[in-house]
Amino acid sequence: MSAAEHAAIRARLPVHEPDAGERAAFPLDATDHADLFLDLRNHLLRIWYRDCRCRVSSEVAVLHIPEPYHPLTRRILTFLEVNGAVNFGCIPLPPQADPPQKQTLGAGPGGCKHTAHVIVVGAGMAGLGAARHLRHLGFANVTVLEARPRVGGRVHTLREGLAPPVDFGAMLITGTEQNPLAVLGQDQLQLETVVCQDSCPLWDCSTGAPLDGVVDALAEKYYNTALAQAAHDGKAKPDAETLSLGEVFEVRLADKLHTEDVVPQQDLRRAVDWHVYNLEYGCAAGLHSVSLRHWDQDDPFGFEGDHVFVKGGLDQLVDGLAEGLDISLNRPVSAIHTPETGLCRVEYKAGPGRGTLTATADYVVLSVPLGVLQAGAIKFQPPLPPWKQEAVAALGNGNLNKIVLEWAEPFWGSESSFGLVRAAKSPLNPAPAPTDGTHMAAHGRRSCQRPQEPTPDRWRGAFFLFWNMIPVTGRPILIGMIPAPACDVLEGLPDAEVIAECTACLRSAFGGTAVPDPLRAHITRWREDPYARGAYSYVPVGASGAVYDTLAQAVHNRLFFAGEATS
């Protein structure tokens, strides 16, 4: 594979044909002269990925290109830049305009010049990325308003209270081959990363030993089979839009488990549940809340390559994006006005205990989390159109929390992670039984009754997985995961109770004398955070992945939306 072809793959573009966006932007060149178009496009991508720390200028772009093709080369470069395929991230910014000066961006109606000021609401990864990209595109007057006293949003590296920095929010770059975050962290900022190993040994809390190998293998087999069959049902069943992944998965799993007599049913079910909790970790919601048809709608957009931790904390990427931007902290926005004529107005608090101020702009980019929108924390005048309000309400706002614990010495192995298969605290999930008179027709089988949801257990799924932070921090630190739905319940419990339960789980797996009380512990509560109100989104029953596209659409071409729930 040539360097140019590899660059196209890194940019998530097809190597040997234009994608739909390119065909729309270059209808003649990308169709009648596709080979030339692709040669020029891949050539520009190769220049960019040769050194992502430097901007690809129009002068550099046309070097070694025959002069007749210079205009097309420059047009392709502009297209790639606008769409974030080149010249993005932490490369140096062009000069910022000095307020109240505004940059002339081009000819407006009638040929007159117009200026533009953009306010970005929210300094999380999306807001910072949007602001920085606007600056790269020539918008010299961009202001970022952030409610918190820090940038980063749900990327939050704790640098106080533990010996080394530890990520309380996002902590992994999930796939390094085509991931823009890998470009920022590894290529541009040249941060040291640690590869996350694939192996994840499971410990049985009922025996204090590694999970029995036969149980482990059977549980993984039955889980994967039931999930694959449920996924097939989601595509094949006409009523899949009204069903949850959890209820269909339970039916499919019951078909498998009731015939198994090699190992005790209770042991097998506990091991299967570990895999269920892992999926709920990924979904940020219990499987009975997640759409059967659309639960895996983002799978085709995953990135290839290793998953890596960033030594020193993921907030280093945030700081790299924030450098050189005009950012005002402690500025929670309360209202956005987008009149038909005139400037947009953004109302915000000027700091704790201070009054409300108003800023004006030509455009507003709103990059706050979905939970903030759903809570109505920001008022809109005029109100958002019904189609936008419906999209905000339709998407699921999931949650995920962590417990971070530090000891003087490790009592665990060297793997990147390990799991705990907890002893049963409540009856097994009940067999399928009618609950509301409705029926579910499993694909290729007779109709069967809708199964009940699992018996409530406030600790259900909590501490099922621990990340070993020694290779990342150099200290004996574990990060325990608390997925939905337990993460919401535990936010209302005192720290001492959560720490005690977590420590008891570890002792049941590794032995009471092997696990002392932790030296320090911290617990996240993302649902309680007024500027997050959750972790990340999911597609609930009755919704579809198209909601993400609707949330991303601008309103009147003046109010734009960015963030995790728009992509």
| Residues 447 and 509 placed together within one structural domain of the fold | yes
Contact 322, 135 (CB under 8 A): no
Looking at residue 412, its amino acid is: W
Q: How far is CA 446 from CA 144, 233, 433, in A?
A: 57, 13, 15
> Where residue 453 falls among pLDDT bands split at 50, 70, 90?
very low
Return the minimum-mean-pLDDT range out of 9-13, 450-454, 497-501.
450-454
Coil vs helix vs strand at 480: strand
Cα 161 to Cα 406: distance, rounded to the nearest angstrom:
10
Over the stretch 387-407, which tens digit does the pLDDT of each residue have?
Answer: 999 999 999 999 999 999 999
Cα 151 to Cα 157: distance, rounded to the nearest angstrom:
11
427: preceding bond cis by omega (within 30 degrees) = no
Over the stretch 165-222, which tens digit does the pLDDT of each residue have?
Answer: 999 999 999 999 999 999 999 999 999 999 999 999 999 999 999 999 999 999 999 9
What CATH number should be reported for the domain holding residue 161? 3.50.50.60
| Residues 406 and 512 placed together within one structural domain of the fold | yes
| Residues 206 and 285 placed together within one structural domain of the fold | yes
Q: Is the pLDDT of residue 111 over 70?
A: no
Dihedral angle sign, alpha carbons of residues 256, 260, 263, 269:
positive
| Residues 408 and 383 placed together within one structural domain of the fold | no
User: DSSP assignment, residue 422?
Assistant: P
Residue 271 CB partners (closer than 8 Å, separation 6+): 202, 211, 215, 216, 218, 219, 421
Which of 457, 454, 456, 461 shows the shortest CA–CA distance to 482? 461
Range of the domain at 490: 202-292+400-523
User: DSSP assignment, residue 53?
Assistant: T
Structural domains counted in the chain: 3
Does residue 346 lie in a domain region?
yes
Which of 169, 236, 215, 159 shows the shortest CA–CA distance to 444? 236
Which of 241, 225, 246, 238 shows the shortest CA–CA distance to 450? 246
User: DSSP assignment, residue 239?
Assistant: T
| Residues 356 and 404 placed together within one structural domain of the fold | no
Q: Is the pLDDT of residue 426 over 60?
A: no
The pLDDT of residue 98:
56
Q: What are phi and psi of 148, to 5 degrees?
A: -80, 170
The pLDDT of residue 32:
77
| Residues 381 and 484 placed together within one structural domain of the fold | no
Which one of 36, 61, 82 terminates a domain?
A: 82
Q: How much is the average pLDDT of 42-58?
A: 96
Over the stretch 66-99, which tens digit does the pLDDT of each residue have?
Answer: 999 999 999 999 999 999 999 999 999 987 765 5
Does residue 306 lie in a domain region?
no
> Where residue 425 falls among pLDDT bands split at 50, 70, 90?
low
Q: How much is the average pLDDT of 309-313?
A: 96
Which one of 82, 107, 125 terminates a domain?
A: 82
Strand partners, 106: 114
First to last CA, the chain: 30
The pLDDT of residue 456:
60
Residue corresponding to tokens 């977590």: 502
Contact 159, 313 (CB under 8 A): yes
Q: How many CB atoms are located within 10 Å of the residue 75 CB?
A: 14
What global pTM score does this model have? Answer: 0.89
On the 0-12 / 13-18 / 19+ scale of CB atoms within 10 A, 66 is exposed
Does residue 297 lie in a domain region?
no
Crossing angle between the packed helical segments 34-50 and 70-82, to the nearest 10 degrees: 60
Looking at residue 410, its amino acid is: P
Q: How much is the average pLDDT of 309-321?
A: 97
| Residues 286 and 409 placed together within one structural domain of the fold | yes
| Residues 416 and 471 placed together within one structural domain of the fold | yes
Q: How much is the average pLDDT of 455-477?
A: 91
Which one of 40, 60, 82 terminates a domain?
A: 82
The pLDDT of residue 262:
80
Does residue 54 lie in a domain region?
yes
| Residues 240 and 381 placed together within one structural domain of the fold | no
Cα 517 to Cα 497: distance, rounded to the nearest angstrom:
13
Cα 561 to Cα 552: distance, rounded to the nearest angstrom:
5
| Residues 515 and 547 placed together within one structural domain of the fold | no
H or E, element range at 559: strand 559-561
User: DSSP assignment, residue 68?
Assistant: G
What CATH number should be reported for the domain holding residue 19? 1.10.10.10
Q: Is the pLDDT of residue 28 over 90?
A: no
Q: How much is the average pLDDT of 314-341?
A: 96
The pLDDT of residue 444:
34
Q: How far is CA 491 from CA 210, 460, 485, in A?
A: 30, 14, 11
| Residues 411 and 381 placed together within one structural domain of the fold | no
Q: Which two tokens stand for residue 230?
A: 């449920």
Does residue 154 lie in a domain region?
yes
Does residue 258 lie in a domain region?
yes
What CATH number should be reported for the domain holding residue 257? 3.90.660.10
Does residue 304 lie in a domain region?
no
> Where residue 501 falls among pLDDT bands split at 50, 70, 90?
very high
Q: What are phi and psi of 128, to 5 degrees?
A: -65, -40
| Residues 230 and 318 placed together within one structural domain of the fold | no
Q: Is the pLDDT of residue 431 over 50?
A: no
Over the stretch 237-281, which tens digit does the pLDDT of each residue have?
Answer: 999 999 999 999 999 999 888 877 788 889 999 999 999 999 999
Does residue 77 lie in a domain region?
yes
Residue 369 CB partners (closer than 8 Å, separation 6+): 124, 153, 154, 531, 532, 533, 534, 563, 564, 565
Q: Is the pLDDT of residue 430 over 90?
A: no
> Where residue 355 falls among pLDDT bands split at 50, 70, 90?
confident
Q: How much is the average pLDDT of 9-18?
A: 93
Query: Higher confidence at residue 148 or residue 435?
Result: 148
Average pLDDT, the chain: 89
H-only helix segments in 385-469? 386-394
Residue corresponding to tokens 């070993």: 468
